Amino acid sequence: MKLTYLGHSAFRVDISGASILIDPFLTGNPSFPKGMTVEQASEGVTHILLTHGHDDHVGDAVEIARRTGAQLTANFEICMWLQSKGVEALNPMGCGGHIDVGPFSVALTQAHHTSSSQAEGLPAIYLGQPNGIVVHAKGEPTLYHMGDTDIFGDMALVNELHAPKVAIVPIGDRFTMGAKSAALACKRYFDFDAIIPCHYGTFPILDQSADAFVEAMGGDAARVKVTAPGGSLSV
């Protein structure tokens, strides 16, 4: 499994038989890698996964889905909204669902956040429950993108059901967990081999570095893989 960080909460995940974009907020993302184009980031993409409906997570999903024909998986409300915008290859799900999409399977977990769109200056459109995403693929470590969330006790159930080994964890505070609560979530509820922090440094109102999170991880800090936008790691 190769993960490429595209800034904010956007990741490209390449596994055997599939190239996946998660929360592809690329255009207008201040931390999207300089010199990289949306076309380059989405070249060969087969699947798009969305955690929730906020504009800094849906991002370029419509344009990429239309251009590439990639299958888009999200909650029901997001899928129906995107269908109205011309996205055809849709895979609607609900929290707790676990669906085989061919090269991998995907499950949606709960997340403590909100989900809506305020694109194009329109009033907020409700877009269903926010989610985390779990990706299972044969021969690969199980990946858990937490989405935008606070810590919650049922993370213990996520671990019991899915036993993820690679985590993408929001740490930027204000809208998601900050360093202390994110570190507690990782240490109390999971046994991750690799933890990639996200949702920080994008906008001035978020924490600007992962330093406090690394410090809060203490003796487990070696598992934290701080990745600059545009950087990749194999797990």
Tell me: pLDDT of 61 over 80: yes
What integer is the mean pLDDT of 127-134? 98
Which pLDDT does position 119 carry in this prediction? 78
Q: What is the dihedral of CA 105, 111, 114, 115, to 10 degrees?
A: 0
Q: Whole-model pTM above 0.75?
A: yes
Tell me: pLDDT of 120 over 90: no
Query: What CATH code would you report for 2-226?
Result: 3.60.15.10
Tell me: pLDDT of 121 over 90: no
What integer is the mean pLDDT of 144-160? 98
Give 174-226 pLDDT, tens digit per residue: 999 999 999 999 999 999 999 999 999 999 999 999 999 999 999 999 999 99
Which pLDDT does position 108 carry in this prediction? 98
Q: What is the mean pLDDT of the chain?
A: 97
Number of other CB atoms surrounding residue 90 within 10 Å: 17
